Amino acid sequence: MTAPGTAAGPGTPAHDGSRSLYTYFRSSAAYRVRIALGLKGLDYEAIPVHLLKDGGQQLSPAYREVNPFGLVPAYAEDGRTLTQSLAIIEYLDERYPEVPLLPGSAWERAQVRQLALAVACEIHPINNLRVLKYLSQTLELPETAKQQWLHHWMQSGLESLEETVVRMGQGGDFCAGSAPTLADCCLVPQLFNARRFGVDLTRCPRLLAIDQACAARPAFQSAHPDAQPDAA
């Protein structure tokens, strides 16, 4: 299966069959990598891993051979495998530097990484599927308590992120200026998640404006969960 909307364009390396992404349409971590691949015009084979079917295909012994953590995404290239979306995106940025996802100066790169890490380390992990499953199945928290947990951590995290972006004070349509970066690759999937769970985003106007600017770009459109071949 070849991912939609990532056909090679002018100046783009042709798909040589060597890039594969283990992905699930609604995985926000896989969504980050799909955006990065799209921004760089890199075609890839999408290998679907259904997080709910068969008790979670990510937990199967076969998939744990790919990623011992039992999480998507995993990225394979030339017979080697990488996990962790941010490590994958930074690898892609170094290996295929034509459309940079990190800015020029050390300070600016650190600013972009602080936003990406805020999503990947502070907001996303505590609301991940396995955490929510543990709350409901092991701790037997009622659905309302689970929802309260999710809304609390996602909303407070996104509001702090909004404040961080505003304080950075950079103009342009995106998190850090006039071109999408690693930070936008992380923000957009997290906002998709927040909307999916009905989180109140009214105190995040700057993030919502950035999301709108991203939505106009083909790379973000083709990476969207609804555009994935494995979308239910």
- Closest approach, Cβ 28 to ligand GSH, in A, equals 5
Residue 134 sits at φ, ψ, to 5 deg, of: -65, -40
Which window, 23-31, 155-163, 205-213, 218-226, contacts ligand GSH (CB under 6 A)?
23-31
51 lies in the site for ligand GSH, by CB under 6 A: yes
- Closest approach, Cβ 69 to ligand GSH, in A, equals 7
Which window, 8-16, 51-59, 92-100, 166-174, contacts ligand GSH (CB under 6 A)?
51-59
27 lies in the site for ligand GSH, by CB under 6 A: yes
Which is nearer to ligand GSH, 56 or 100 (by Cβ)? Answer: 56
Site for ligand GSH in 53-82 (CB under 6 A): 56, 58, 71-73
For 22, half-sphere exposure in the C-beta direction (CA atoms, 13 angstrom radius) is 25
Q: What angle do the packed helices 28-39 and 85-95 form, to 10 degrees?
A: 10
Q: In this structure, are residues 127 and 154 in contact, taking their beta carbons and an 8 Å threshold?
A: yes
Separation CA 85–CA 93 (nearest Å): 12
- Closest approach, Cβ 53 to ligand GSH, in A, equals 12
* Residues 6 or more apart whose Cβ sits within 8 Å of residue 161: 115, 118, 119, 123, 187, 204, 207
Among 50, 109, 130, 151, binds ligand GSH (CB under 6 A): 130
Q: Please say whether the dihedral angle defined by the alpha carbons of residues 47, 51, 55 and 61, taken in this order, is positive or negative.
A: positive
Residue 20 sits at φ, ψ, to 5 deg, of: -135, 145
29 lies in the site for ligand GSH, by CB under 6 A: yes
Size of the site for ligand GSH (CB under 6 A): 16
Interface positions with ligand GSH (CB under 6 A): 27-29, 51, 56, 58, 71-73, 84-86, 120, 128-130
